[in-house]
Amino acid sequence: MQTYFISDLHLHDARPHCVDAFVRYLAERRSEDRLYILGDLFEAWIGDDFTTPMISRVKSALEQCPAELFMQHGNRDFLIGQEFAQTCGVSLLPEECVIDIAGDRTLLMHGDSLCTKDEAYMKVRPMLRDPNFQSALLEKSIAERLQIATDARSESSEHTQSTDLDIMDVTPAAVIQTMHSHSVKTLIHGHTHRPFDHQNVLPDGTGRRLVLGDWNEYGWHITTGSTGLILERFTL
Ligand code: MN
């Protein structure tokens, strides 16, 4: 059995090469495999009731994928719901989830909640993840929701361009606190688009933080090799 982790594919009509690559990637998995998608599979998600040819194609590729599929929400696709998950045969995981990898407790998360220096985003995050806010949003018409998503994406890209790059990375103290609170020595996350295998991230000199890359120029995944977890880059 092989376990795979991916995140931040940001699937969108404007990124057809990523959609093609993901459909191929799913077809290459085997029935004994497990695939964990750690958020931001889609660039935007306005509700399970909205579809496009791209979304339908991704849904059927997920549905046909022989591997066992798990998914966490990202800061862009946090509105993905049970309807989508059930249709695609994907299990939705909580935003912080500990799994066992070869006897090692491993924490999985998208990673946005670790970027605590991004104060503007941290302020709105609890509202965005509030079930009441989300159901009120989902009651709006598709046209209204599309407009909100477009506005949010342009605000987010302005924000990202004007924010100091260090602010968009994780805060070491938040990493330590989160890893301690789950009693883990291994963390896998995405979001920052800074793929790297960080060693010795805890004050006692232990701890490993593996960061997935986004799919654009290359694809990235983490997989379980004979020596443990490995971060790999591949051509799309
Ligand atoms: Mn993200």
User: CA torsion 78→83→89→94, rounded to 10°?
Assistant: 40
pLDDT, residue 165, reads: 67
* Closest residue by Cα to residue 76 from 157, 183, 196: 157
pLDDT at residue number 155: 82
- Please report the pLDDT score of residue 153 as a whole number: 81
10 alpha carbon to ligand 1 midpoint, in Å? 9
CA of 104 to the centre of ligand 1 (A): 25
Q: Would you state the pLDDT for residue 226?
A: 82
Two tokens, residue 31: 């029935």
What is the per-residue pLDDT across 135-183, written as a single tens digit (0 to 9) for each? Answer: 999 999 999 999 998 888 888 888 877 777 677 899 999 999 999 999 9
pTM listed for this prediction: 0.95
Radius of gyration of the chain, Cα coordinates, nearest whole angstrom: 17
Q: What angle do CA 69, 85, 230 make, to 5 degrees?
A: 25
Q: Which residues surround ligand 1, an ion (CB under 5 A)?
A: 40, 74-75, 191
> What per-residue confidence (pLDDT) applies to 150?
87
Ligand 1 centroid from CA 194, angstroms: 11
Which of the residues in the chain have pLDDT under 50?
Answer: none
User: How far, in Å, CA of 82 to CA of 75, rounded?
Assistant: 17
pLDDT of amino acid 173:
97
In CATH terms, 3-235 corresponds, of 3.60.21.10, 3.30.70.20, 2.40.50.140, 3.40.640.10, to: 3.60.21.10
Report how far ligand 1's centroid is from the alpha carbon of 8 (Å). Answer: 6
